[in-house]
Amino acid sequence: MKVLISKSGEVSKPFIERIHLIQGDITQQDTDAIAMLIPQDMEFAGQINQSIMQAAGYDIDAFILEHIYKPRVGEVYALPAGNLNAKHILVGIMPYYRTEFDQNDSHLSGAVRSIMELARCMLLTSISFPPLFSGKKGFAKPKAARLVCQGINDRMQDAFEDVRIVCSDEASIEIFDRKLRILGWDGG
């Protein structure tokens, strides 16, 4: 057993530097997988989900309805990526939130952990995450960024070579940058 003692006030996460913050289009990433979330009611809405579905070139919504029966909150599924540069789409199931009072932090961070765990079990070495559940019906952007970063960081292991957080705008990049730096990431 290897004992790792960190300096006072420093975070001891040896693989956190494998997290990369990128400004770009999630559908253009050439990683092993792209992550996305859908609510348990299977409503395939949201700008990120719609762009992934369109870029994949097949009806992901119909594929999910045909192959996934009564999904439960917290479950994660691997889908074919179609025309995407990625090899897989990893889909996590979230509850449907009617109002912000229904939101539970553990659902989002747990879904991200489950996606990371499925990627590890599938022997994937790279995965791309968009700013998950930070749209109109999701969490506030800073809170969503914190939960996504926590979920990724909690499951970072030696097997992962490249974990990307891909944001389409500078404001989201800045939010994720702040949250990652709190965890001990130095922007490398």
Could you read off the pLDDT of 12-70 as tens digits, one per residue? 577 999 999 999 999 999 999 999 998 887 777 788 888 999 999 887 878 888 888 88
pLDDT of residue 43: 75
pLDDT at 3: 54
Between 69 and 77, residue with greater pLDDT:
77
Tokens of 38: 């859908």
Residues 117-143 pLDDT 10s = 999 999 999 999 999 988 776 778 999
d(CA 105, CA 113): 12
Q: What torsion, rounded to 10 degrees, do the Cα atoms 99, 102, 103, 106 define?
A: -170
pLDDT beyond 70 at 150: yes
Q: Which residues contact 126 (CB under 8 A, 6 or more apart)?
A: 31, 32, 33, 160, 161, 162, 163, 164
**Alpha carbon distance 111, 165 (integer Å):** 15
Q: How confident is the model at residue 11 (pLDDT cuts 50, 70, 90)?
A: very low
Report pTM.
0.88
